[in-house]
Every structure is written in structure tokens, then in C-alpha cells.
Amino acid sequence: MRLTLRVWRQKNAGAPGAMATYEVDGISPDMSFLEMLDTLNEELILRGEDPVAFDHDCREGICGACSLVINGDAHGPERTTSCQLHMRSFRDGDTIDIEPWRAAAFPVVKDLVVDRSAFDRIIQAGGYISAPTGSAPEAHATPVPKADADFAFEHAECIGCGACVAACPNGSAMLFTSAKVNHLNVLPQGAPERETRVLDMVRVMDEEGFGGCTLTGECATACPKGIPLPSIAAMNKEWLRATRKARR
């Protein structure tokens, strides 16, 4: 496959950026999107140019490091991560636009790499449980209803990649925060911090400069892990419950 790539290039956080055009040839349809970028970077290095910086780690769709907006879609045209997207989703001769996540809370570090530490600070505010660690507890000691376990697991699938923020026209982190809140709030292990968790995580989410939710649904469409949109309503319910309890 022969492709034209238009890639966002930006030297550092302070420098202005622009789209740069590159031609790549000899791309196999079985390559992943990141392997295609590796091919481009090898050529750039041979030519003595600066390779395109992009985030990646596990390359098997479970770490949440890769973060590319491909043709205007976070993680591209398929419902998966950029690393699990394959070139067979494109046609020979295509022009592909590659941009970084765009949000005030995710400043560009270089090229396609953005700083997602705002997510870490939301997690630090309450995305944990206070149970002491140690060997695995006896499973029957804490019964969890099947429906609750399924609900928790559905939300635990969030890998924190930030595609929801990138896709949201308001740069809102509601889907991420709701996934984390719902995952722990429904379980007995998360019950001691049920109220403080949602209040603190929502507060930090707002402080980090993410936008508000207007329920456009773009986040859930972009999410590679299929965190559903009603997740946000479930967090709102938890938040309203917690504000009522806090006032008492």
C-alpha cells in the first residue's frame, strides 16, 4: 500500500505546530497502524530527520498508552485502540490525517504525545480502596451479587487512554471518571469511600480544566473498551446521593 500521511508535528509544548505531509510506500494491510508509523520513522531516521513522536507501550490494546486521532476519530475508524487498528481498514492511495488528543487538560508534549497526568490526579483523588493489601482474601467472605460484579467489571475495563476526552467537543472527562467511580462504588470493597470518592474525583476532574458533559455521546462511540454512555448517568446518581449525604 502507498499512503499519504498528514501528521501533526510540534517540537515541544511551547512551540507552534503544524501538519506535515509524508509519503509512505510498501505498507502491508496486515501491519498495525503503529507499525506503519514505525516504517515512516525508520525512513525519517535514515534521512536524518526527527522521527514522529507518539505514545505506545503494550501494543495489544490493554495499556491505554496509544493516543492518535486518525481522520478526526479518536483511535481511528474501528472500535479499538490505535495499536490494534490494522492497515486493512484503509485503502491503497488514501490520505490519512493523524493528530494528537485535543483538550486543554491534555497539553501536547511533542508531536502526537500529550500529557495525560490529569487522569492520574483524578485517580489519586479517589480511584482506590482502603482495604489493606496482602494475599488474596477468601472469595466467599464478601459476597457480590452477579449483576453488581458485571457492572463493576464493565467499568473496570477502562484503560484510561483518554479517547473519551479527545472525542468530546467539550473536552470532558465524564466517561473516564464515571467508569472509575462506578467500578469501585458498586462493590462492597469500595463502600467505605463511596461518597468521598465520587465527590473528590468530580472535584479534581473540574479543577483539571476538563469541560462539562452535554451528553453528545461522542465519548462512548470513541471508547475502545465500550464503556457505555449510561455510565455517566450512574455517576451523576452517585454524586447527587453523596452531596445529599454530605450535607446531613
Smallest distance, another protein to C-beta of residue 234, A: 7
**Using the rule CB under 8 A, which residue among 210, 220, 223, 224 binds another protein?**
210
Rounded CA separation 175/121 (Å)? 16
Q: Does 121 bind another protein (CB under 8 A)?
A: no
Determine phi and psi for 79, rounding to 5 degrees: -80, 80
How big is the site for another protein, counted in residues (CB under 8 A)? 46
In the numeric block, which cell numbers belong to residue 156? 473496570
Smallest distance, another protein to C-beta of residue 4, A: 13
Smallest Cα–Cα separation from 130: which of 192, 172, 185, 79? Answer: 192
- CA 95 → CA 42, 197, 228, distances in Å? 20, 45, 31
Smallest distance, another protein to C-beta of residue 166, A: 9
Return the number of the residue (213 or 223) whose C-beta is nearest another protein: 213
Q: Does 72 bind another protein (CB under 8 A)?
A: yes
Q: Does 213 bind another protein (CB under 8 A)?
A: yes
Q: Does 89 bind another protein (CB under 8 A)?
A: no
**Using the rule CB under 8 A, which residue among 15, 120, 233, 245 binds another protein?**
233
Site for another protein in 122-161 (CB under 8 A): none
- Using the contact rule CB under 8 A, the part of the chain among 34-42, 123-131, 181-189, 216-224 near another protein is 216-224
- Using the contact rule CB under 8 A, the part of the chain among 27-35, 79-87, 127-135, 164-172 near another protein is 164-172
Q: Does 5 bind another protein (CB under 8 A)?
A: no
Return the number of the residue (95 or 142) whose C-beta is nearest another protein: 95
Hey, which residues does 3 pair with through a beta bridge? 24
**Using the rule CB under 8 A, which residue among 29, 192, 209, 226 binds another protein?**
209
**Using the rule CB under 8 A, which residue among 36, 65, 69, 179 binds another protein?**
69
**Using the rule CB under 8 A, which residue among 81, 82, 84, 172 binds another protein?**
172
Return the number of the residue (114 or 184) whose C-beta is nearest another protein: 114
Give the angle 122-126-127 at the CA atoms, nearest 5°.
Answer: 75
Cβ atoms within 10 A of the Cβ of 96, count? 18
Per CB under 8 A, residues contacting another protein are 6, 8, 19, 69, 71-73, 97, 99, 102-105, 168-172, 199, 202-203, 206, 209-218, 228-230, 232-234, 236-241, 243, 246
